[in-house]
C-alpha cells in the first residue's frame, strides 16, 4: 500500500447518507468509530469548520479522494508515495495538486462549498450529529 504525507477530507450533509460506505472504504474505520465513542484515535484527526466535518490523516494514497467521490465530499492529498503531486477532488472532478493548479483547486473548493450544505449550522451540532450516526454503525 502506498501512503500519503497528509490528507484532508471535508464532509457535508450528503455524506451522512453514505457513512456505511465511507467506513468500508477507510483503511482503518475503527479509528473513526473510536473517535465517535470519545476514545483516542491512532492516526485520524477529526475537527469541524463552519458545520463541516474535517477528517485528516487518512493513511492510504487515494483514500480521501475515493471517499470524496462516494460521499460528495472534498479531498486534498499531499505527498503520495507514488511520487505524484497529490490531488484535490470535489467529489466529481479531480485535479493534480501542483503550483499551476492552485487557483483551480481554490475554485473547486468554492464551488463545492456553494453546492454542499454543512452537516449542521454549528460545529457543536455537526459533531453531535456525526457522533450519533456513527454510534449506530
| Other C-beta atoms lying within 10 Å of the C-beta of residue 28 | 17
Q: State the pTM of this model.
A: 0.93
For 72, 100, 104, the CA distances from 117, given in Å and listed in that order, are: 11, 29, 21
C-alpha cell belonging to residue 133: 450516526
pLDDT tens track for 26-80: 999 999 999 999 999 999 999 999 999 999 999 888 899 999 999 999 999 987 6
Amino acid at each position: 500500500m502506498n501512503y500519503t504525507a497528509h490528507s484532508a477530507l471535508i464532509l457535508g450533509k450528503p455524506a451522512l447518507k453514505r457513512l456505511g460506505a465511507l467506513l468500508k472504504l477507510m483503511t482503518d474505520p475503527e479509528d473513526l468509530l473510536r473517535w465517535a465513542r470519545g476514545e483516542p484515535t491512532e492516526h485520524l484527526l477529526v475537527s469541524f469548520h463552519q458545520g463541516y466535518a474535517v477528517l485528516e490523516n487518512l493513511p492510504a494514497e487515494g483514500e480521501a479522494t475515493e471517499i470524496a467521490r462516494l460521499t460528495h465530499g472534498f479531498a486534498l492529498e499531499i505527498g503520495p508515495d507514488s511520487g505524484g503531486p497529490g490531488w484535490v477532488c470535489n467529489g466529481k472532478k479531480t485535479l493534480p495538486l501542483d503550483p499551476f493548479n492552485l487557483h483551480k483547486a481554490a475554485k473547486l473548493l468554492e464551488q463545492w462549498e456553494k453546492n454542499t450544505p454543512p452537516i449542521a449550522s454549528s460545529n457543536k451540532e455537526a459533531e453531535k450529529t456525526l457522533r450519533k450516526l456513527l454510534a449506530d454503525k
